[in-house]
Amino acid sequence: MTVRIRTFQPADTEAVIGLWEHCGLTRPQNDPRKDIERKQRVQPDLFLVAEGDDTVVGSAMAGYDGHRGWVYYFGIAPSARRNGIGGALMAEVERRVARLGCPKINLQVRGGNDGAIEFYRAIGFAEDDVRSMGKRLLQD
Determine the pLDDT at residue 28.
87
CATH number of 3-122: 3.40.630.30
Torsion of CA 60, 48, 12, 139, to 10 degrees: 50
In this predicted model, what pLDDT tens digit does every residue of 64-89 receive, in sequence order? 999 999 999 999 999 999 999 999 99
Spell out the per-residue pLDDT of the chain, length 140, in tens: 789 999 999 999 999 999 999 999 999 888 999 999 999 999 999 999 999 989 999 999 999 999 999 999 999 999 999 999 999 999 999 999 999 999 999 999 988 899 999 999 999 999 999 989 999 898 87
Closest CA to 69 of 99, 26, 32: 99
Domain boundaries, the chain: 3-122
